[in-house]
């Protein structure tokens, strides 16, 4: 399967996917990386791996579907089968959502439906989990729709919240778990165990 990854920042999840494909743990290939942020380290990672990479700053396209049309052309040119959002902070436009219905996935660093939605990204998520004195947090992989963190949940894994945890220490432990979980679940998608 041909995979496109959308990422706005560091791209460690992207790296896990690239490595998973290279090691044969995922039956697929990361063919394109798209970011909205020209400074995203995710773009550097793609360059280092000779993966076609694109910076599409959606704010620069005032027309309703303009950015979407560009993104769709890129996806078509790589015959993309599935899209994975790995720390992508923009909403997906309606044209892309329609064409790739049920084939766009996102990873979220908490147990949705709690701790998701607008503003729930980065350290905000882990701060909220610790403030609520949760005993567990985790990772959710879900399909993407027009709302933030709202589509069908396809897989979750738990991570303990320790009494000594700070938002930062919890974030580190969850991110580490993401890297293995992501590979496992994307492989299930590419093998057909999870239907698209
Ligand atoms: C991850 O925590 C992921 O769950 C969230 O964004 C973060 C991306 O991290 N959606 P990185 O940029 O891949 O290191």
Is residue 9 lining ligand 1, measured as CB closer than 6 Å?
Answer: yes
Q: How many alpha carbons fall within 13 Å on the CB side of residue 106?
A: 27
Domain ranges of the chain: 2-190
Q: 25 or 195: whose pLDDT is higher?
A: 25
Give per-residue pLDDT as tens, 143-185.
Answer: 999 988 999 999 999 999 999 999 999 999 999 999 999 999 9
Interval between CA 171 and ligand 1 midpoint (Å): 10
Cβ distance 106 to 64 under 8 Å? no
Cβ distance 145 to 151 under 8 Å? yes
Task: Give the whole-angstrom CA distance, residue 56 versus residue 68.
Answer: 10
Mean pLDDT score of the chain: 96
Interval between CA 10 and ligand 1 midpoint (Å): 8
Cβ distance 48 to 27 under 8 Å? no
Q: Which residues contact 21 (CB under 8 A, 6 or more apart)?
A: 3, 28, 29, 30
Which ligand 1 atom minimizes the distance to the CA of 41? Answer: 12
Q: What is the pLDDT of residue 62?
A: 82
The CATH superfamily label for domain 2-190 reads Formyl transferase, N-terminal domain (3.40.50.170)
- The pTM (predicted TM-score) of the whole model is 0.96
């Amino acid at each position: 399967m041909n995979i496109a990854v959308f990422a706005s920042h560091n791209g460690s999840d992207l790296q896990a996917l690239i490595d998973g494909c290279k090691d044969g743990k995922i039956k697929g290939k990361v063919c394109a990386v798209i970011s909205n942020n020209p400074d995203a380290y995710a773009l550097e990672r793609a360059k280092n791996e000779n993966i076609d990479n694109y910076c599409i700053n959606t704010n620069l396209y005032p027309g309703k579907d303009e950015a979407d049309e560009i993104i769709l052309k890129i996806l078509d040119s790589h015959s993309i089968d599935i899209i994975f959002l790995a720390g992508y902070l923009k909403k997906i436009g309606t044209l892309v959502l329609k064409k790739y219905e049920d084939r766009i996935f996102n990873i979220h660093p908490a147990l949705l439906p709690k701790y998701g939605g607008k503003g729930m990204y980065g350290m905000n998520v882990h701060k909220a989990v610790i403030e609520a004195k949760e005993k567990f947090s985790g990772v959710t992989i879900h399909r993407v729709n027009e709302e933030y963190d709202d589509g069908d949940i396809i897989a979750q894994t738990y991570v303990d919240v320790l009494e000594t945890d700070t938002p930062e220490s919890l974030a580190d432990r969850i991110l580490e778990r993401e890297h293995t979980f992501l590979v496992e679940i994307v492989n299930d998608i590419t093998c057909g165990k999870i239907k698209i």
